[in-house]
Amino acid sequence: MILLETTTKKRRIGIIGGTFNPIHLGHLMIAEVAYEEFELEQVIFVPTHISPHKFHDVISAYHRYAMTAAAVEDNPHFTISDVEIKRDGYSYTIDTIRYFQEQMGPDVEFYFIAGTDTIELLPSWHYIDELLQLCHFIGAMRPDAKEMVDSVLEFFGEKAIGRIHLLQVPEMKLSATYLRERLRAGKTVRYMLPKCVVDYITNNNIYTDVDSTSVLHTEHTN
């Protein structure tokens, strides 16, 4: 009798981390395109508590989590985790990936979804060599970022092959900094933020000059 080996296809789970200060349509669009292109089972949004790369003007984790939860609620393959918010100190991606590995087991492949600016910083991340073994990276490409991304791929060499993937997404020039500036100036953010997020910001008086009690002067670490 001949025994045939069977291989079980691993589940693919996307993780998108960030301060989400606030979460905007660019975040959601990148996550949706990555979900489809890489055949992910779900995408987990992970708001950071204290990030090593964001130094100031970050509102409380409570508000950022609540806005993110509202933004992903109507998408059946999006979910949210508070694992980094519950963690004391800086939020490092390596700890988050290890956590989800323990929770979900060995039959899951993780895909960390990141924007171009994050991909640029990968060489400086904590335990990046181990991270490249534990998970894949999906880099959402800006049209003007090819040279920079090529330099990152060259830096990692063979380690990047099959581990760092590039994702072409529709161009959407939105940044959380730009949106905070508009909010503080009293300008519209309609069609830039989900309506539920706009409503939350309005109802809680966030991103105004008097909203100093909720600002954390911190740095975000990976």
Tell me the average pLDDT across 51-79: 87
The pLDDT assigned to 169 comes to 87
Q: What is the per-residue pLDDT across 123-175, written as a single tens digit (0 to 9) for each?
A: 999 999 999 999 999 999 877 788 889 999 999 999 999 999 999 888 778 89
**Residue 181 scores a pLDDT above 70:** yes
Architecture of the structural domain at 11-206:
3-Layer(aba) Sandwich (3.40)
More confident residue, 4 or 35: 35
Q: DSSP label at 139?
A: E
More confident residue, 154 or 52: 154
Q: What is the per-residue pLDDT across 14-24, written as a single tens digit (0 to 9) for each?
A: 999 999 999 99
Domain ranges of the chain: 11-206
* Helix/strand/coil (H/E/C) assignment for every residue in 71-138: HHCCCCCEEECCHHHHCCCECCHHHHHHHHHHHHCCCEEEEEEEEHHHHHHHHHCCCHHHHHHHEEEE
Q: Which letter, b or e, does each residue of 43-56 get, where b requires 16 or more Cβ atoms within 10 Å of its Cβ? A: bbbbbbbbbbbbee
**Residue 214 scores a pLDDT above 50:** no
Query: Which amino acid type is present at position 122?
Result: L
Q: Please state, as a whole number, how many other Cβ atoms lie within 10 Å of the Cβ of residue 129.
A: 10
Query: Which amino acid type is present at position 98?
Result: R
